[in-house]
Structure 1
Amino acid sequence: MCTAMAASTDSFYLGFDFSTQQLKVVAVDGDLNVVYQTNVQFDSELPEFRTHGGVHIHADRLTVTSPVLMWVKALDLVLEKMKSAGFDFSCVRALSGSGQQHGSVYWKTGAHQALRDLDPGKSLHELLQESFAVSDSPVWMDSSTTDQCQSLEAAVGGPQKLVDITGSRAYERFTGNQIAKIFKSSPNQYQETERISLVSSFAASVFLGSYGAIDYSDGSGMNLMDIFSKQWDESCLLATAPHLQERLGTTVPSSTVLGLVSQYYVSRYGFPGDCKVVAFTGDNPGSLAGMRLQEGDIAVSLGTSDTVFLWIKEPRPAVEGHIFCNPVDGSAYMALLCYKNGSLTRERIRNECAGESWDAFSTVLKSTTIGNNGNMGIYLDSMEITPAAVGVHRYSRENVKVVSFPAREEIRALVEGQFLAKRYHAEKLGYKIIPGTRVLATGGASSNKDILQVLSDVFNAPVYTIDVANSACLGSAYRALHGLVAESGVSFAEATRKAPESQLSVSPTPGAEKVFDALLARYAVLEDGVLRESNR
């Protein structure tokens, strides 16, 4: 008998997040209230694996891996914590999850049988310790596959051709290139592998007691899948490793119910026998679900690095940025842009121009003219991803390069320049500002309303703030609930309408649209010049 922990419902939905440094779980009830959450920190709670920040950094400093059995043991620990806390597993109707994107797991021949025969009297760690052909999985921090990236791009006809197929050019962390490296450097381990999972589909497999399919959204971060047909691309597979398709299995829509939870969890923890496992996805797609983005929305995370998530209907894949399949709408896409020069650059300018005071920094933004009298800056303290350039570049209203600005103009030039860059690259990927567009701001700088005002003015859209400390985890719980009704045509937005709403922070200043439309055109020309200068 289910003894609910929340009065409003007798059903729970679990969301797991296998992230870089910890395993997290959130339980929500049918009204999408969070009723339970806990986590396992890899470094401190599983010290026997000797990770730092959840990973092993190898001697070449390029190779970065994580022990697969650490993730397995973390799941043992998190479930035991839930059991000790009195969590009622019999109320769980469905579960889903996310995993750090681009990590890969190599199941040894015979592992499928081991998954099917899980003995509820033993821990998962005991049962699966002989199940992996590669004991340390390559993860997203790995950058040791440059040769494989170059080979893949050459095999399919160049970077743009690969972008046109897979939504991204070849990246060292992407799974296809990691598979190619393992095939080349460890052919015996590749030969011993009967299935290759992403971290997300690996976790789903452990819950299913059978191999879980890779979902479209996480699958589109591999440099192997055609993001339009949503099938593995033959030319990419051939360029990566032999007999790869049979090791990858099929891809499935992100809302797919993969099956029922393994009898292991029914017997050991009291899950109901009809508890559904909904396809797991990557942590970035999971965050899009957790933030409940809708068509036309843009999410901007303002942290050490700035990250932009976009909801796109008609993508235009470009060499910069990434296009993934959308995890909550099968007819849409999500784009991802990452900028290294985020908060640290803002802090440097604050220290130099505002006496190390955010209050003084904000006062300047409030009191200076929108558009900065035509003075613009591109501030790249470290080598940027988008655009691939470095250095501080300042321009007068006549587009003449200058050495410096007065402190007040420097502050506004920095903030306007950062947000113009985000809008410019978003529109290059196919993003369109439409009636009803919202900007959802997260991260440290989202608490500064004067910075958000500039963001709102540049995008000509209201800015909402949202607490997304566990966005991927929460998104997974929401997706678990949606998975039960998706086949009957219920949209993700409809299924999650009871979730907490984001809060309106600022709206665009009247007249700002005209100013920034003109500045955006100028910015495009200036950035192009910076790129040409960097490539000389």
Structure 2
Amino acid sequence: RQSVCVSLNLYPPPLLGDSFYLGFDFSTQQLKVVAIDGDLNVVHQNHVLFDSELPEFRTQGGVQLHADRLTVTSPVLMWVKALDLLLDKMRRAEFDFSRVRALSGSGQQHGSVYWRRGASETLNQLDPDQSLYQQLQVCVFSVSDSPVWMDSSSSQQCQDLQAAAGGALRLAEITGSRAYERFTGNQIAKLRQNRPEEFQDTERISLVSSFAASLFLGGYAAIDYSDGSGMNLLDIRSRTWSEICLEATAPHLDRLLGAPLPPTSVLGPVSSYFVRRCGFSESCRVVAFTGDNPASLAGMRLQQGDIAVSLGTSDTVFLWIQQPRPALEGHVFCNPVDWQEYMALLCFKNGSLTRERVRNECTGGSWEVFSAALRETPLGNNGNIGFYFDTMEITPPAVGVHRFDPDDTEVSSVSPQVEVRALVEGQFLSRRLHAERLGYSIIPGTRVLATGGASSNKEILQVLSDVFNAPVYTIDLSNSTCLGSAYRALHGLVAESGVSFFDVVKKAPEPRLVATPHPTLSTASPDLLPQLLAQRVNVLSYFCPVP
């Protein structure tokens, strides 16, 4: 197929030559870039740290915490100046911009940017002899401080939106998530109510991702389906703005947002500003930017049926799903590499810190003893199970330590070895149960991709493999968002020709197999929990009730 595409000139030259593809990530604490060549080799990396390299904006962790301790914002101009600085660093490193065939990027999800009336003219007439910051710091943004994902000041707006939609579950069925304070629709509603003059002066509302794409385009970039799914505004099935949600948020909001587009869309050529200032080729294309979580899915090269589990301070689960079943917990987004399918995201606060506490209390602070406890206790833990919520959990909303014996009776303590396995099995059972409630199902070929600090522990990964009844692989995610954006830039050039994302990234390094399910599970049905653990679901469901 590739040879036919080449002969028909459906593949542009970079797939045959030595062109580059850029992936940017406008994250919370820094701006990063990765450049890859047509063989997916990383040829350049760079970054700008907001706090230390742009101290004039007085951010901590890239954000500004306001007096009410609920409002959290980031200065829009900090992101603009960071891009100036990053491109300067790349020029000093003698990066050859003329070889860039396409670029894409990601932005921290749920942040929003408000362009003042007339800003599009400024974007379209940028002077290459001046920096972006010099030209955009005056009369361009109606709101200078962007609400970001850490903001929790829009509770009333969340209640209003859910009431308008017919309840939290109905809103989740439409938009993929119940109302969340950080989600953009609720932030827009709050701004319209509390700062009406600035809202009235707004010509366009962007997400951080589409704002960044707009800088490169020299005009307003569309919001892509995937990042748009994190706004409580997009109907994830029709992939259009929900009229119910728009009307509940602000009048004529569809005009301010523009029509959403597939994440594989080529938005247009890079602005002449970057051609003249940096030396980009006029043929360089800008592919739609997306959110950081969807970009990570692309960077991990997650496939249908796969599940990625990040075992860090918090545990995060990424899923590729076909038929979503939105719930009151977790999020369903449009898939960033195959927009006709979906991805889901679950976050669990009680991750590695809880595992470390149990290690300290039960094994004298030794990971070796912790691992030995997992090896020496049987799969299913003889019916003992525990749920350990040291802090108020997100999924499910519960707190406290709860241990159960084989008769489902809550007990105050168990032996140290039993406690270690009860913790780890309980955590992974919860991950799987919630994933299945969002529409995930194990299919032939399903892989679990593990990353994060705990993914170095073979015994923990063995339990993960047993609970999901699927092989576990490890993968390096140190630059997953940037790599995913660079991969998407390359794919965007050929997506309309029918070339799949996975055809484009097949040369990327494969993840490493580290664990396979216990032999006693080999006959277990792949669409059910392994038999030795299924008996515990009734206990788990007490903490994770079906809505």
> How do 1:413-492 residues align onto structure 2 when only pairs under 5 Å count?
413-492=422-501
Equivalent position of 2:514 in the other structure: 505
Deviations 1:169-202 (A, max 9, x none): 0000000000000000000010010000000000
Contact 1:23–1:75 at 8 Å: present in 2 too? yes
Structure 2 residue aligned with 1:106:
114
Q: Does 1:517 align with 2:500?
A: no
Q: 1:311 aligns with which of 305, 314, 320?
A: 320
Counterparts of 2:488 and 2:459, CA distance in 1: 34
Aligned partner of 1:206: which letter? L
CA 1:232–1:401: 2 relative to 1, 3 Å = same
> Is 1:327–2:336 an aligned residue pair?
yes
Superposition deviation, residue 530 in structure 1: 3.6
Indicate yes or no: 2:539 matched with 1:526: yes
Aligned CA distance change for structure 1 residues 349 and 53 (closer, same or farther; 3 Å): same
The alpha carbon displacement at 1:525 in A equals 2.2
**For 1:196-216, what per-residue CA distance to the aligned partner results, in whole angstroms no more than 9, with x for missing partners?**
000000000000000000000
**Equivalent residue for 1:254?**
263
Residue deviations 1:196-251, cap 9 Å, x none? 00000000000000000000000000000000000000010000011111000010
Distance 1:524 1:333 in 2: 26
CA-to-partner distance for each residue in 1:298-332, whole Å, 9 max, x for gaps?
00000000000000001111111100000001221
Separation (CA, whole Å) in 2 of partners of 1:62 and 1:521 = 41
Structure 2: gaps of 5 or more residues: 1-13
Q: Give the counterpart of 2:130 among 116, 119, 122.
A: 122
Matched with 2:296 is 287
Listed as ranges, the matches of 1:305-384 within 5 Å are 305-384=314-393
> C-alpha deviations, 1:311-365, integer Å up to 9, x for none?
0001111111100000001221000000000000000000000110111111111
3-state SS of 2:373 partner: helix
Match in the other structure for 1:158 = 167
- CA distance, structure 2, for counterparts of residue 395 and residue 113 of structure 1: 65
1:85 aligned to 93, 107, 129, which one?
93
Q: Separation in 2 of the partners of 1:142 and 1:519? A: 42
The 8 Å contact of residues 383 and 536 in structure 2, kept in 1 or not, is answered as: no
Q: Are the equivalent residues in 1 in contact too, given 2:380–2:533 (CA < 8 A)?
A: no
Q: Which residues of structure 1 form unaligned runs of 5+?
A: 1-5
CA distance in 2, matches of 1:248, 1:478: 26
Q: Which residue of 2 aligns with 1:169?
A: 178
Q: How many residues align?
A: 527
SS at 2:128 equivalent: coil
Q: In 1, distance between residues paired with 2:155 and 2:299?
A: 33
What is aligned with 2:195? 186
Provide the TM-score with structure 1 as the length reference. Answer: 0.97
Residue number in structure 2 paired with 1:57? 65
Tell me which residue corresponds to 1:136: 145
- CA change 1:455–1:334 in 2 (3 A) is same
Within 1, Cα distance between the matches of 2:532 and 2:271?
57
Change (3 A) 1:134 1:520: farther
Q: Which amino acid is the alignment partner of residue 403 of structure 1?
A: S
Q: Give distance in 2, aligned partners of 1:520 and 1:282.
A: 36
Paired letter, 1:407? P
| Corresponding residue of 1:210 | 219
What is the deviation of 1:517? Answer: 2.8
How do 1:260-299 residues align onto structure 2 when only pairs under 5 Å count? 260-299=269-308
Q: Does structure 2 retain, via aligned residues, the 8 Å contact 1:464–1:505? A: yes
TM (normalized to structure 2)? 0.95
Task: Output the amino acid matched with 1:41.
Answer: L
Contact 2:226–2:339 (Cα < 8 Å) also in 1: no
Task: Tell me how far apart the structure 2 counterparts of residues 268 and 12 of structure 1 sit (CA, whole Å).
Answer: 18
Q: Is the 8 A contact 2:379 2:532 kept in 1?
A: no
Q: Contact 1:421 / 1:523 at 8 angstroms: preserved in 2?
A: no
RMSD, matched Cα: 1.4
Distance 1:274 1:112 in 2: 22
Q: Secondary structure at the match of 2:510?
A: coil
Please tell me whether the aligned partners of residues 381 and 390 of structure 1 are also in contact (alpha carbons under 8 angstroms): yes
Q: Counterpart amino acid of 2:372?
A: T
Structure 2: distance between partners of 1:366 and 1:528: 27
Q: Distance in 2 between matches of 1:521 and 1:498?
A: 39
Q: Cα deviation per residue 1:437-485 (whole Å; 9 max; x = unaligned)? A: 0000010101111100000010011111010111011100000000000
1:529 is displaced (CA, Å) by 2.6
Judge conservation of contact 2:474–2:512 (CA < 8 Å) in 1.
yes
1:38 aligns with 2:46: yes
CA contact (8 A) 1:424 1:520 kept: no
Q: Quick check: 1:9–1:31 contact (8 Å CA) kept in 2?
A: no
1:519, distance to aligned residue in structure 2 (A):
5.4
Q: Is the 8 A contact 1:63 1:143 kept in 2?
A: yes
Q: Retained in 1: the 8 A contact 2:225–2:261?
A: yes
DSSP-derived class of the 1:106 partner: strand
Which AA in structure 2 matches 1:414? Answer: L
Whole-angstrom CA distance in 2 between matches of 1:104 and 1:118:
22
Report runs of 4+ in structure 1 exceeding 2 Å deviation.
512-525, 527-532
Amino acid in structure 2 at the alignment position of 1:245: D
Pick the aligned partner of 1:147 from 156, 169, 174: 156
Pick the aligned partner of 1:20 from 16, 24, 28: 28
Q: Which amino acid aligns with 1:253?
A: P
Q: Find the counterpart in structure 1 of residue 6 from structure 2.
A: none
- CA contact under 8 A between 2:209 and 2:289: conserved in structure 1? yes
- Retained in 1: the 8 A contact 2:466–2:530? no
Q: Deviations over 1:61-93 (max 9, x none)?
A: 110000000000000000000000000000000
Per-residue deviation, 1:520? 5.0
Change (3 A) 1:311 1:186: same
What one-letter code is carried by the residue in structure 1 that aligns with 2:271?
A: S
CA–CA separation in structure 2 for the residues paired with 1:530 and 1:341: 14
**Residue deviations 1:358-395, cap 9 Å, x none?**
11111111111111111011111111111111111111
Deviation (angstroms), 1:156: 1.1
Residue 73 of structure 1 aligns with an amino acid whose one-letter code is K
Letter aligned with residue 529 of structure 1: Y
1:530–1:438 Cα change, 3 Å: closer
Q: Name 1:70's counterpart in structure 2.
A: 78
1:286 and 1:206 mapped to 2: Cα distance? 19
Q: Deviations over 1:468-521 (max 9, x none)?
A: 111011100000000000000000011111111111111111113659534554
Secondary structure of the structure 1 residue equivalent to 2:237: coil
